[in-house]
Amino acid sequence: MRGRLVLRVSPGPDREIWGIELNEAAAAMARERCDHFIEGDFFSALAQLPVQSFDCIVFNDVLEHLPEPWKALNACKNLCTPEGVVVSSIPNFRFVGNLKEIIMERDFRYKELGILDITHLRFFTSRSILRMHKECGYEVLRHEGIRPCKTFMTELLILHSFGFFRDILYKQFATVAKPIRHE
């Protein structure tokens, strides 16, 4: 797993940073920056996490590495405080670089890093990210493309498609979502 999972309790001077990391080398670095740290995968760490204690849970390039990202989002609902949010950064499979390879070469190759990272178990588009959050019982507060790759040709394509292809500009989508509480 190349991403980072960071959980934060209480903003301000009393804040605590919790981290979970599977990669041994990254775990060594994370230990120095976190108040509480768990080496291992998210699902194994769940039992060690305090319920309804996290104001912000960050999946920074993590969900696409999980066999069941829906299960992870569902588990976070129980970890969040009533005001808590889940923030994620997820690669965009519809990115123009991928589409070019798929359309022109009628194929794609997994890579060491990036959207087609060989360790990715799931691929997402902007629409499928939003659907996943909705299906898991979240209200999306903010969802936007990040790391744009604007070129004359992509801008022309977006213009001529009346915006239909706007999402192909972005390598990733960042999402802030809040669990919907039923009382």
Burial pattern 122-140, b for ≥16 Cβ within 10 A else e, equals bebbbebbbebbeebebee
Query: Residue 79 in contact with residue 54, Cβ under 8 Å?
Result: yes
Closest CA to 34 of 45, 75, 172: 45
How much is the pLDDT for 90? 96
Say whether pLDDT at 12 is over 70.
no
Q: What one-character-per-residue DSSP string does 46-86 give?
A: GGGSPTT-EEEEEEES-GGGSS-HHHHHHHHHHHEEEEEEE
With bands split at pLDDT 50, 70 and 90, how would you rate the model's confidence at 5? low
Say whether pLDDT at 183 is over 80.
no
With bands split at pLDDT 50, 70 and 90, how would you rate the model's confidence at 63? very high
How much is the pLDDT for 148? 79
pLDDT digits (tens, 9 = 90+) for 70-127: 999 999 999 999 999 999 999 999 888 888 888 888 888 888 888 888 888 899 999 9
Work out whether the CA dihedral 110, 115, 121, 122 comes out positive or negative.
negative
The three-class DSSP label of residue 169 is helix
pLDDT digits (tens, 9 = 90+) for 118-154: 888 899 999 999 999 999 999 999 999 998 787 777 7
| Tokens found for residue 108 | 């794609």
Q: Listing from the earlier edge strand, what are the strands of the sheet with 138-148?
A: 36-39, 16-21, 4-9, 54-60, 80-91, 170-179, 138-148
Element (H, E) at 96: helix 96-105
CATH number of 4-92+120-148+171-179: 3.40.50.150
Work out whether the CA dihedral 39, 40, 46, 48 comes out positive or negative.
negative
- Averaged pLDDT for residues 10-33: 80
- Domain positions in the chain: 4-92+120-148+171-179
How does strand 170-179 pair with strand 138-148? antiparallel
pLDDT digits (tens, 9 = 90+) for 26-60: 888 888 888 888 888 889 889 899 999 899 999 99
